[in-house]
Structure 1
Amino acid sequence: MKQLKYIGFLMLAVISLQSCHKDLLEPIPEAAVSSENYFLNDQQIETGVIAIYDAIQGVNSTNLNDNRGIQHEYYVTEMRSDNTRTKNQEGEAAQFESYAITPNNGIVENYYRSCYSTIFRSNLVLENLANASETMAPIFEGEAKFARAYSYFNLVRLFGDVPLIDRTITPQDDEIAFTRVATATIYDLIVSDLETAAANLSNGEYTRASKAAAEALLAKVHLTLGNYLEAQILCENVMGYGYTLEPNFNDIFYNEGNNEVIFVIAYTQGIEADSQDFSAEFMNGVGRTVGVNYVTEDAAAFLDANGGNRTEFSYRIDPLQPTQRQVVKYLPNGEDGGANGNVFASDATLSGNDWVVIRYADVLLMHVEAILAGGQETTNMAAITSFQTVRDRAGLTDAVTSITKQELLNERRAELAFENQRLFDLIRFGEAQNVLSDLSTANNYSFTATDLLLPIPQREINLSNGIMTQNPGY
């Protein structure tokens, strides 16, 4: 992981990957070191903090028993929107685009388990803060609570009510591990965690949690909850920290560490333990399960009409299959393959592209959304300034005098295409039912309102011995 010097073999001795499964409820020491006698000082707790980011990063592996972390997120988000699909409509991947997901879908289970692995590792750090120095304890707390809130925010938006686990638990804690808690209670924890993170952290990092990252994520939480004034204040805080838009849109993704990125999940090319393979999976002929997260005709047509200079850096015609369109924000290691197609100089399945979670353009558009406050239109000059700034960078310089809700949703689609934002935006704006129903009708899919939530993995339900319930429609 870039800029994170973590001790992999040591963490394997301390922490095993974690989920709510009864047989994985507590860390299993694989050597003489255990969690009870390890996290005794700042240096040791630091390895636990870095292991949290490692859990979000996920394992670059074809084995669904390995937690894939964010490397699988595009399946459960972008491919369930109108932006992307699979190339061949085969296997478990195609279930997402056609809204035919089953509770036994291994990708869904893996993502659920990965989120709880991050939550477990966060709880482990939080329970050992008494052993940290007075200087480092609040920083470790902020990072752990940021990661826990980030994971729960994804879980609650994707699955609805989920188990709330705010401490490490044992195999005897079935009620905690499998009892689904109301989303309002989960959001209370998310808000509290992010407020603590924002208070405890400073700025300067982008591969680790920062004050700006916590405030930006909390702003999105408040937008989701309809707390518009709180979101506006947080966005304006972040807008005062010196972030700027990259002049060249392509540099956001290929000039890593630029002044637009606020928080990324970092990867390193060529190192199996620290690389990712989703860049290769977006391509044709260079990955393991290639041709997923391909651009829909609808998204391509939308970008052609509305993307400005962002379009060429968002998708391209597949050089090996001209009827298909590929995402290009994450070409493996920045290599475009040239005129001969996807002939990469390096192993594309060991890519080093960072995954951008939060960037400044998103904050500017959230600022507009907060000022719009659920209304249909605004002429507020602060909102117009933020909106115009994003459009100007895209070469769309016609003066804006008002912004409608639909125009803002369209701008978010053009700016953040293929960044796992579209589904959540549709839901937050109240447009998911209409947009996805139309998409389903046009493509003979089977979307219904219950498809806005994923199924609880069947394995979790089986392990719960009757405690855990399934979402409607599954």
Structure 2
Amino acid sequence: MKKIKNLYIVLIGLAAGVMTSCESKLDQSPISSLGSNGFYQNEADFIKALSGVYNGLNAYPINHFELSEVRSDNIYTPGTAGVRDYNLINNFNTNLATAGIMNSTWNGLYNNIMRANTIVDKLSADVVADDNTRTRIEGETKFLRALYYFDLVRFYGKVPLFDRPVTPLEALEIPRSPVTDVYDLIIADLQFAIANLPDEYSSATDLGRATSHAARGLLARVYMTRSGTQLHPDGPVLGTNEWSQALTLLDQIINSGQFDLVDSYADIFAYDNENNEEIVFDIQFLSGGQGVGGEYVQYHYPEAFARTNGIPFAGGTFPDAPKTVSADLMASYPSEDVRDDFSVWINYDDGNGNITQDRFIKKYLDLDNLGVDRFDFELNFPVIRYADILLMKAEALSKSGGSQSAIDAIVNEIRNRAGITAPVANVTYDQIMEERRREFIGEGLRWHDLVRSGMAIDVMLDWIAEEDAANKISTDITSDDLIYAVPINQLDVKEGLYEQNPGY
């Protein structure tokens, strides 16, 4: 019976309303004290429960920094001892099944999916009579469920597929589903969201809610991920050649006229300019004490820097394991490019009068906007922004034989905003991916881009040969490394229910 209880906790979740310490601007009132059978009595109950599903996004910036940015050629963090989870990720360690972040990411995503499934299951005209409100709640819920499943597929490949609430005993009989089956649910959920969500909201209280354009942007990213070069038989890339489907969605966003590039790159991330015209979908955070802000900012800066610069309850990375922005990435920025100076802090006082040579991502940090502690940064985190929509279009055009002049125009628009006035012509696919690397530094996209493009193995091996001065990163990188290990406690729940991914 103990194993069944563990599975219930891991796969199905503790309760629909259990909240973490980090809350978004959406209503986050706990609902865990009420069972799901008795809770959903009216529209307000569903809105409150939906806030619980949004609340699961608080881990998104951390997961994608640790499992995408740190995994890539953007960050070098071998660690002195090499025992931190993020060191193991950076070093392509094969023992990741026991790493805490593998377990917390899997658990968190399934907890969020359980909450979403419960809402979809309970939602009916009997309790939410207004058709528009009911379909909007369902659309938002399915958008979030699709996002969580997309993360699972990108991180783990095949995963158990739950599209409804199940009992612990039922869960014991549900194996990992093929990636294609998981994608079927993701695509259906996003298509529903596109059809039933508004393009935008008129009320300030609805800031941060999913829109039809957010669903289009995410579905375009899904189609492009599926369409890339398949190197792993059970990974997220299928070689489906769905570039035209992605282009249709991207053009709908672009032609809406609702979004634009912010004039200044720095203003995208300004604390007084949140929800600006570049944001297609972001995660809302606020400051106010008692752990209501965003913790993700402290995952970038070193602890010594925090202490010397007055960040309360400093936090930050450990002295034996800084997350150093790679020399290769820094060298890729043209001299007039403003993005590196804004995004990366170079050199700081370690508190003992020594100026270090370390580099860390600072694009989310504003020392004039500190909360009460390291969990209390209020800056929203961008999941999809308009620059990504444009560069995804350039990539899809490049892959599908589209207009070269359109590709060049997009890339030059992005570069011009970054302060690079000299135009480029005949932009290649590799150049598009490098421009994405510079534009989205620290936004958790780089590893996903490398996997989608089929470039991950070659790029990482070349980068390791140049960058790994500590000689700690494995050079035995194969297609097995394109997805992560299934957490060991999942394998232990019921023998034979899941198999470990090859290479771990």
- TM-score w.r.t. structure 1 length? 0.86
1:300-379 equivalences in 2 (<5 Å): 300-303=330-333, 305=334, 308-320=337-349, 321-331=355-365, 334-335=366-367, 346-373=372-399, 379=403
1:237 to 239, 243, 252: 252
Query: Are positions 1:99 and 2:85 aligned together?
Result: no
Q: Distance in 1 between matches of 2:385 and 2:284?
A: 14
* C-alpha RMSD of the superposition: 2.3
Q: Distance in 2 between matches of 1:307 and 1:430?
A: 30
1:377-388 equivalences in 2 (<5 Å): 379-388=403-412
Identity rate of aligned residues, in percent? Answer: 29
Query: Are positions 1:253 and 2:269 aligned together?
Result: yes
Closer/same/farther in 2, CA of residues 469 and 381 from structure 1, 3 Å limit: same
Counterpart in 1 of 2:102? 108
The amino acid that maps onto 1:398 is A
Q: Distance in 2 between matches of 1:198 and 1:404?
A: 32
SS of alignment partner, residue 280 of structure 2: strand
Q: Distance in 2 between matches of 1:307 and 1:72?
A: 32
Counterpart in 1 of 2:498? 468
Counterpart in 1 of 2:162? 165
SS of alignment partner, residue 147 of structure 2: helix
Query: Are positions 1:21 and 2:10 aligned together?
Result: no
1:275 to 293, 298, 301: 293
Closer/same/farther in 2, CA of residues 32 and 288 from structure 1, 3 Å limit: closer
Counterpart in 2 of 1:440? 464
The amino acid that maps onto 2:44 is Q
SS of alignment partner, residue 264 of structure 1: strand
Counterpart in 2 of 1:123? 117
SS of alignment partner, residue 275 of structure 1: coil
Shift of 1:295: 1.0
The amino acid that maps onto 2:382 is V
Shift of 1:386: 2.3
Retained in 2: the 8 A contact 1:149–1:190?
A: yes
1:450-469 equivalences in 2 (<5 Å): 450-469=480-499
Shift of 1:207: 1.1
Retained in 1: the 8 A contact 2:289–2:371?
A: no
SS of alignment partner, residue 350 of structure 1: coil
Note the residue ranges of structure 1 that are not aligned, 5 or more in a row: 1-18, 59-68, 338-343
Shift of 1:175: 4.1
Retained in 1: the 8 A contact 2:287–2:371?
A: no
Counterpart in 2 of 1:208? 209
SS of alignment partner, residue 396 of structure 1: coil
SS of alignment partner, residue 430 of structure 2: helix
Counterpart in 2 of 1:199? 195
Query: Which stretches of structure 1, 4 residues or longer, exceed 6 Å deviation after superposition?
Result: 29-32
Q: Distance in 2 between matches of 1:31 and 1:233?
A: 41
Closer/same/farther in 2, CA of residues 270 and 301 from structure 1, 3 Å limit: farther
What is the CA deviation profile of residues 440-466 of structure 1, one whole-angstrom value per residue up to 9, with x for unaligned ones?
Answer: 334131141122111000011101332
SS of alignment partner, residue 33 of structure 1: coil
Q: Distance in 2 between matches of 1:119 and 1:201?
A: 19
SS of alignment partner, residue 357 of structure 1: strand
The amino acid that maps onto 1:279 is V
The amino acid that maps onto 1:326 is F
1:116-195 equivalences in 2 (<5 Å): 116-130=110-124, 131-133=127-129, 134-175=131-172, 177=174, 179-195=175-191
What is the CA deviation profile of residues 180-202 of structure 1, one whole-angstrom value per residue up to 9, with x for unaligned ones?
Answer: 11111111111111111111111
Retained in 1: the 8 A contact 2:280–2:385?
A: yes
Retained in 2: the 8 A contact 1:73–1:420?
A: yes
1:416-435 equivalences in 2 (<5 Å): 416-435=440-459
Shift of 1:26: 5.9
Shift of 1:314: 1.4
Shift of 1:216: 0.5
Shift of 1:157: 1.1
Shift of 1:215: 0.1
SS of alignment partner, residue 383 of structure 2: strand
SS of alignment partner, residue 345 of structure 2: strand
Q: Distance in 2 between matches of 1:187 and 1:172?
A: 25
Shift of 1:80: 0.3
The amino acid that maps onto 2:265 is F
Shift of 1:369: 1.2
Closer/same/farther in 2, CA of residues 399 and 454 from structure 1, 3 Å limit: same
Note the residue ranges of structure 2 that are not aligned, 5 or more in a row: 17-30, 202-206, 228-241, 307-313, 350-354
Shift of 1:318: 3.5
Q: Distance in 1 between matches of 2:331 and 2:85?
A: 27
SS of alignment partner, residue 127 of structure 1: helix
Q: Distance in 2 between matches of 1:267 and 1:441?
A: 39
The amino acid that maps onto 2:434 is N
Retained in 2: the 8 A contact 1:219–1:235?
A: yes
Shift of 1:74: 1.1
Shift of 1:268: 1.2
Closer/same/farther in 2, CA of residues 361 and 176 from structure 1, 3 Å limit: farther
What is the CA deviation profile of residues 215-244 of structure 1, one whole-angstrom value per residue up to 9, with x for unaligned ones?
Answer: 001011111122011100100001122201
Counterpart in 2 of 1:79? 70
Counterpart in 1 of 2:317? 290
Closer/same/farther in 2, CA of residues 26 and 407 from structure 1, 3 Å limit: closer
SS of alignment partner, residue 391 of structure 1: helix
What is the CA deviation profile of residues 344-392 of structure 1, one whole-angstrom value per residue up to 9, with x for unaligned ones?
Answer: 68533321121110100000001111111256xx653333332222122
Counterpart in 1 of 2:23? none
The amino acid that maps onto 2:394 is V
SS of alignment partner, residue 360 of structure 2: strand
Q: Distance in 2 between matches of 1:243 and 1:373?
A: 24
Counterpart in 1 of 2:230? none
Shift of 1:77: 1.1
1:397-412 equivalences in 2 (<5 Å): 397-412=421-436
Retained in 2: the 8 A contact 1:20–1:116?
A: no
Counterpart in 2 of 1:35? 36
What is the CA deviation profile of residues 101-151 of structure 1, one whole-angstrom value per residue up to 9, with x for unaligned ones?
Answer: 521000111111111111111111111221323121110111111111111
Q: Distance in 2 between matches of 1:167 and 1:278?
A: 31
SS of alignment partner, residue 112 of structure 1: helix
Closer/same/farther in 2, CA of residues 113 and 70 from structure 1, 3 Å limit: farther
Counterpart in 2 of 1:50? 51
Q: Distance in 2 between matches of 1:38 and 1:421?
A: 38
Retained in 2: the 8 A contact 1:306–1:414?
A: no
The amino acid that maps onto 1:79 is V
Shift of 1:22: 3.0
Counterpart in 1 of 2:281? 263
Closer/same/farther in 2, CA of residues 225 and 93 from structure 1, 3 Å limit: closer
Q: Distance in 1 between matches of 2:339 and 2:491?
A: 44
The amino acid that maps onto 1:319 is Y
